[in-house]
């Protein structure tokens, strides 16, 4: 049986994970462009749930496959 453990990372770790900068992550978060299910506030610290990030990435991959197969552009 597979257990679904939360993998929580800092802003710096998330930026490295997705190939972005910390400032970009902070900016996207402040603009409300990062899905709320990614964000976990622990006191004054912000952590991101990599399981949710991975789900979002996979959904984008699937959307791209669908769009390519149907000839639609993103």
pLDDT in tens, 14-64: 999 999 999 999 999 999 999 999 999 999 999 999 999 999 888 888 777
Tokens of 61: 């991959």
Q: How far, in Å, CA of 25 to CA of 44, rounded?
A: 17
Instruction: Categorize the per-residue pLDDT at 74 as very low, low, confident or very high, splitting at 50, 70 and 90.
Output: very low
pLDDT at 11: 96
**Hey, how many other C-beta atoms are within 10 angstroms of the C-beta on 25?**
23
pTM for the predicted model, two decimal places: 0.74
């Amino acid at each position: 049986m597979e257990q679904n453990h939360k993998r929580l990372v800092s802003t710096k770790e998330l930026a490295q994970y997705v190939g972005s900068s910390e400032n970009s992550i902070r900016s996207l978060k402040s603009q409300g462009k990062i899905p709320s299910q990614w964000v976990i506030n622990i006191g004054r610290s912000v952590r991101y749930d990599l399981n949710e990030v991975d789900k979002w990435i996979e959904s984008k991959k699937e959307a791209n496959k669908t769009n390519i197969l149907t000839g639609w552009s993103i």
